[in-house]
Amino acid sequence: MRKKDWLIITPFFLIFAIFYVNWTYGLFESNRTDTSSMEIAKWKVKVNDDILNGSTSSFVIDRVTWSTNANVKEGKAAPGTSGYFEIEIDPNETDTSIRYDITFDLSVFDGTAFSIDRVEEVDDKEIIRTGENTYSNIIPLEKIRQNETNTIRVYVTWDNDESKNEKDSDIAKGENGKFKIPVDIHITQHVSGEELIPYIGE
């Protein structure tokens, strides 16, 4: 190609190169802006109206509805009584499906005839026993968007075993005379495909 031809073509190459660079940079800026403006999913879970701080919360249950017993004052706990308490999980300000694991620490009742009879969810929802004293379930995002809450009802019995009167007395002398059940609740984001594995034990 002659030198004169190069002189004619070169300006067109320069104009094309400048246009291409500007277009590429503009595309990059557009993509970067879209990415940085992405909102983070909200995470706010309440347990019995208290906001869960972090993924795990430890607390005690001291409000048990005790059954009527002719030998025990109404509303009071003593060997020979049974009752239940409830735990409500409210994830309605959360933007992801969640899994919860509830673990009851029964070590404080070692040496007594206190036991958990059964754990169930109201409204016929299913809860899975995944550990010796752990119960789990999944709340899908679809249900969260419908403002559903999960209420877990725990039935307990304090049998009257004469051989364990000493330990029973220690429990009865607890702080402010209240019957307290330690509970840990662990809540995580549920990953699609994750399954709850039932506990196989005694």
For 179-202, the pLDDT digits (tens) are 788 999 999 999 888 899 999 976
Instruction: Let me know: does 77 contact 178? Beta carbons within 8 Å.
Output: no
Q: Does residue 180 or residue 72 have the better pLDDT?
A: 180
pLDDT in the model for residue 178: 66
pTM attached to this predicted model:
0.74
pLDDT in the model for residue 119: 96
**Residue from 178, 156, 164, 160 nearest 111 by CA:** 164
pLDDT in the model for residue 30: 47
Q: How confident is the model at residue 154 (pLDDT cuts 50, 70, 90)?
A: very high
pLDDT in the model for residue 174: 56
pLDDT in tens, 101-148: 999 998 888 878 788 999 999 988 899 999 999 999 999 999 999 999
pLDDT in tens, 56-70: 888 888 888 888 777
Residues in the chain: 202
The label of the residue with tokens 């048990």 reads 64
Instruction: Let me know: does 129 contact 121? Beta carbons within 8 Å.
Output: no
CA angle (146 as vertex; 94, 39 as ends), nearest 5: 35
pLDDT in tens, 79-104: 788 899 999 999 998 999 999 999 99
* Alpha carbon distance 155, 181 (integer Å): 12
* Alpha carbon distance 21, 171 (integer Å): 78
pLDDT in the model for residue 78: 75
Instruction: Let me know: does 85 contact 154? Beta carbons within 8 Å.
Output: yes
pLDDT in tens, 11-66: 555 555 555 445 444 444 445 444 455 667 788 899 988 888 777 888 888 888 88
What is the dihedral sign for C-alpha 186, 171, 111, 127?
Answer: negative
pLDDT in the model for residue 84: 93
